[in-house]
Structure 1
Amino acid sequence: MKWKRSERLVDMTHYLLNHPQKLISLTLFADMYQSAKSSISEDLTIVKETFEEKGIGLLVTVPGAAGGVKYMPRMNDEAVREVIQDFIEELSHSDRLLPGGYLYMTDLLGNPEMMNRVGKVFASAFAKQPIDVIMTVATKGIPIAHAIARHLNVPVVVVRRDSKVTEGSTVSINYVSGSSRRIQTMVLSKRSMKSGQRVLITDDFMKVGGTMNGMKNLLEEFNCQLAGVAVLVETEHPGEQLIENYLSLVKLKEVNEKNRTIALTEGNYFSKGGKE
């Protein structure tokens, strides 16, 4: 079957978007489309220019015999701010207010379109860093972790509060919850990670960072490295944060339960270097 250029471009774009961060050789594309490498190179130039012009991402060329091309998810500042503002708008409704100053976010975490956009925002910030695993704690952080993992093309590991028979042998640690100051437990299967892996940890909500700090300590038990911290919503806290270097999309500044008002602002994504 002889592919037309228009057909190659559509299929090639689809392939690249579904294989982020994967080095793809020109030989693979040449064999797939039964075309000369020179034609494939011209096609990739068109895709690269379109990706960059539309803010879809970057197409990086790796030279050499073992080289090829790699799609890296990227969003420009305008697109990132649009995602953040859309999330703030959805989260600002007074009926989301829960006792204790928490916000109801389950429906947003279950919205595939919203989570896909959030995942790409965080993936854009960490796209140039070597990341092997996304880690989160059950249960509300799971949709965010999978959304980021999809755009970085890496696996997800889920930390639990107690061990499950289906997890096999586990590693368990105790940590101090930042908000309640209670001793809690984290458990992770020994098969979840390999020594030396670089791990991005994420969660939906952070007060002072007790849970994040617990996951950070758990990495040490696996001899793994912390690659970064991604938080969907953080709260403004007058005391000391247990986690210093993290990226957040939204900051919960104030909750007035009497008047049922919610004050939200942009998080530290830009001020902490979320975009280069």
Structure 2
Amino acid sequence: MKVKRSERLIDMTHYLMEHPRELVSLTFFADRFQSAKSSISEDLVIVKDTFELRGVGTLQTVPGAAGGVRYIPGIKREHAKELIDSLRTHVSHSNRLLPGGYLYMTDILGDIHLMNHVGKLFAAAFADQKIDVIMTVATKGIGIAHAVARYLGVPVVVVRRDSKVTEGSTVSINYVSGSSKRIQTMVLSKRSLAQGSRVLIVDDFMRAGGTAAGMKNLLEEFSATVAGVGIFIESEYGEERLIDNWISLLNLTGVDEKGKTIGIETGNYFDQVPSFLDEKKER
């Protein structure tokens, strides 16, 4: 039974956003709604214009018999700034200070709304990259990884510090922690990552970059390629980093335990990420 156009538009929008970066043929929608492809094409123009106007992404059209459309997540610069400012506010509360200058972050990393912001920001940053999987290290990066994966429509793999019997055969490497200069171990199940995958590395915190560098070295054992590195919070570091390129949302500039203040600034996000939606004409 044919459905009303308003119903088609709602269902198409929902389906596309639930399947980010997945190529969907016009035939699929035509059969789904018992409608002509010409009508579906007109509907998709409306969806595309609305996505761009609202700053949630765009639709990419792939021509040809095997073509179709795919939803590409995105974000406007002004909206990205609002989200990062909100994250700054939450992280900079003085009650987060722990002895030794550490920050309590568990509540933020467990907040689905804040992690949704983080996922949206990183997804927009890496939407134009070919990414097969998101990688992070246990345990605090897991929430971030799943938030990003949700927007990019790819699976998550988790690197662990030690081997688990439930992981089956594993690959392990030793690496040097950048800040403490200690030898540490990383382990990843052989079944969790296909050879030659393109991997987006994400983590909650970076100082020298030792953990991210370790994950990059581990990926070499799988002949995998690093598609990018996303860091929630990076910290000021006086020495040379162990990785070259990354995108950060926040920058921890300093902690004053006595004065109970936390210095948090915007990371390098806006220096690294083109906001393609800003150039779209708003109607």
Q: Assess same fold via TM > 0.5.
A: yes
Q: Deviations over 1:164-202 (max 9, x none)?
A: 000000001001111111111000000111111110001
**CA shift at 1:104, angstroms?**
1.1
- Residue 172 of structure 1 corresponds to 172
- Residue 131 of structure 2 corresponds to 131
8 Å CA contact 1:201–1:230 kept in 2: the answer is: yes
Q: Matched residues, percent identical?
A: 67
**CA shift at 1:117, angstroms?**
1.5
**Separation of aligned partners in 2, 1:139 and 1:242:** 21
Unaligned runs of 5+ in 1: none
Paired positions, count: 276
- Residue 118 of structure 2 corresponds to 118
- Residue 13 of structure 2 corresponds to 13
**Separation of aligned partners in 2, 1:54 and 1:106:** 31
In structure 1, what residue type is equivalent to 2:35? S
* 161 and 106 in structure 1: CA distance in 2 versus 1, 3 angstrom threshold: same
SS at match of 2:203: strand
SS at match of 1:64: coil
**Separation of aligned partners in 2, 1:116 and 1:255:** 27
**Separation of aligned partners in 2, 1:248 and 1:138:** 19
Q: Does 1:146 align with 2:149?
A: no
- Residue 222 of structure 2 corresponds to 222
- Residue 81 of structure 1 corresponds to 81
- Residue 273 of structure 2 corresponds to 273
- Residue 55 of structure 2 corresponds to 55
Q: Deviations over 1:43-93 (max 9, x none)?
A: 101101000001011101100000000000000111111111000001111
- Residue 252 of structure 1 corresponds to 252
* Segment of structure 1 superposing worse, 8-17 or 99-108: 99-108
8 Å CA contact 1:174–1:183 kept in 2: the answer is: yes
- Residue 109 of structure 2 corresponds to 109
- Residue 32 of structure 1 corresponds to 32
Q: TM-score, normalised by structure 2?
A: 0.96
In structure 2, what residue type is equivalent to 1:104? Y
* Segment of structure 1 superposing worse, 97-106 or 202-211: 97-106
**Separation of aligned partners in 1, 2:241 and 2:157:** 25
Q: Deviations over 1:120-173 (max 9, x none)?
A: 110111101100010000000000000111111111000000000000000010
- Residue 279 of structure 2 corresponds to none
In structure 2, what residue type is equivalent to 1:265? E
**Separation of aligned partners in 1, 2:274 and 2:143:** 20
**CA shift at 1:3, angstroms?**
0.1
In structure 1, what residue type is equivalent to 2:53? E
8 Å CA contact 1:201–1:229 kept in 2: the answer is: yes
**Separation of aligned partners in 1, 2:139 and 2:253:** 24
**CA shift at 1:100, angstroms?**
2.9
**Separation of aligned partners in 1, 2:267 and 2:230:** 11
**CA shift at 1:274, angstroms?**
5.4
Q: Does 1:70 align with 2:59?
A: no
Q: Deviations over 1:245-268 (max 9, x none)?
A: 000000000100111111110000
- Residue 41 of structure 1 corresponds to 41
**Separation of aligned partners in 2, 1:97 and 1:124:** 31
**Separation of aligned partners in 1, 2:94 and 2:41:** 53
- Residue 264 of structure 2 corresponds to 264
Q: TM-score, normalised by structure 1?
A: 0.98
**Separation of aligned partners in 2, 1:136 and 1:234:** 15
* Segment of structure 1 superposing worse, 246-255 or 263-272: 263-272
In structure 2, what residue type is equivalent to 1:263? G
**Separation of aligned partners in 2, 1:134 and 1:85:** 25
- Residue 2 of structure 2 corresponds to 2
Unaligned runs of 5+ in 2: 277-283
SS at match of 1:191: helix
**Separation of aligned partners in 2, 1:273 and 1:148:** 15
